[in-house]
Amino acid sequence: MSASNIVENFAVTSICFSPDGERLATAGYSTTELNIWQLGQNPQKIATLDLADTQNPVNSISWSQNYLSAIANTAQEIFIFDQQFNKVKTLTKGISREILVNQFNHNGRELLVATRRPLNQSLKKQGLTAVPDMVIYTTPNWNSQAFESGFHIFGASWLSDLVVVAGNDRANEHQFSVVVFNPATGQQHKISLGAPADEARLAVLEDKHKIGVTFKVNNDSDGTFESHFYVLHYNKDTGNFQVLHSATLTSPDQFVNVAFTSEYTILDTYINGQSKAESLDALGNMQHEQTFQYPTT
């Protein structure tokens, strides 16, 4: 596969490939536009979607076989476009807080939306503790169903027909935890991984039921923090979690992101102005390493 470059005139904060991998959507700071590129040896911009309804830059994009969804920073609405890039829907039902997650499932029939704070404040004022903070929309009618995670959510994602949530567990002294739940039955399984987090990332490799999480815990007593990462395997039949890899890093300036390819777990560690990318095989052995130095100004 040959490499090609795309140059934008804004700081890119969100990208998303089309399901066939032939197009790329880009968005970023200082613009409310979303660009669509046809990929190849010489990428061509084929559409620009102007979200005139918002003054905030787009910070999340999701692409299914039939739709493209986008949300803007601090916005409480989701813009839906068809495959000809016509805006066909603006979703707002059940949403009254900033959207954190916007993701279609593997077959594009359902759209997962999650917020870090409760969606329906009127329920909370009535003294009800189960306040929905996730909504699943079903295409093509965009009917919605709301759920309450019980978490201060940092990340959420599909795992086939299940939903994975990572965050601080309000029912367990705000321990940082991962829960997998079935929207159809309400059944859920949970694993606690450590002290309450101040920041976290979540990645999922659906076909192998792998879950990667990284989270940062501040030590208020001495002003330092620890970065933790875990790679978990979830057994859909038993509901059990298996820890495949884990590590704890201590430094005044570092954090770890995690991602998956079909063969490797990718760790991106930021330490003292440098980004170090590492690939781990199925046994947790490092196979590749590359360091990038951030420019200083």
CB atoms within 10 A of CB 182: 14
Residue 60 pLDDT = 85
- The answer to whether residue 184 is domain-embedded is no
DSSP state of 17: E
**Measured distance CA(202)–CA(257) in Å, rounded:** 8
Q: Which domain holds residue 39?
A: 1-148
In this structure, what are the phi and psi dihedrals at residue 232, rounded to the nearest 5 degrees? -115, 150
The helix (run of H) or strand (run of E) holding residue 164 is: strand 162-169
Looking at residue 264, what is its pLDDT?
79
The pLDDT of residue 119: 52
The Cβ of residue 190 has, within 10 Å, a number of other Cβ atoms equal to 18
Would you state the pLDDT for residue 128?
52
The rounded distance, in Å, linking the Cα atoms of 85 and 202 is 29
N-to-C CA span, the chain: 35
| Cβ atoms < 10 Å from Cβ of 15 | 15
Q: Does 100 share its domain with 208?
A: no
Q: Are 122 and 223 in a shared domain?
A: no
Report yes or no on 254 lying in a domain.
yes
Same domain for 260 and 134, yes or no, is: no
Last residue of a domain, one of 124, 148, 172: 148
Three-state secondary structure call for residue 207: helix
Full pLDDT tens readout for the chain, 297 residues: 456 788 888 888 888 999 999 999 998 877 778 899 999 889 999 999 877 666 667 778 999 999 999 887 666 788 899 999 999 998 876 666 678 889 999 999 999 998 876 555 555 555 555 567 899 999 999 999 988 888 999 999 999 999 999 999 988 888 999 999 999 998 999 999 999 998 899 999 987 899 999 898 887 666 677 888 899 999 999 999 999 988 887 665 566 778 887 787 887 777 766 777 778 887 777 788 877 765 555
Q: How many domains does the chain have?
A: 2
User: Is residue 173 a part of any domain in this protein?
Assistant: no
Spatial contact of 83 and 70, defined as CB atoms under 8 Å apart: no
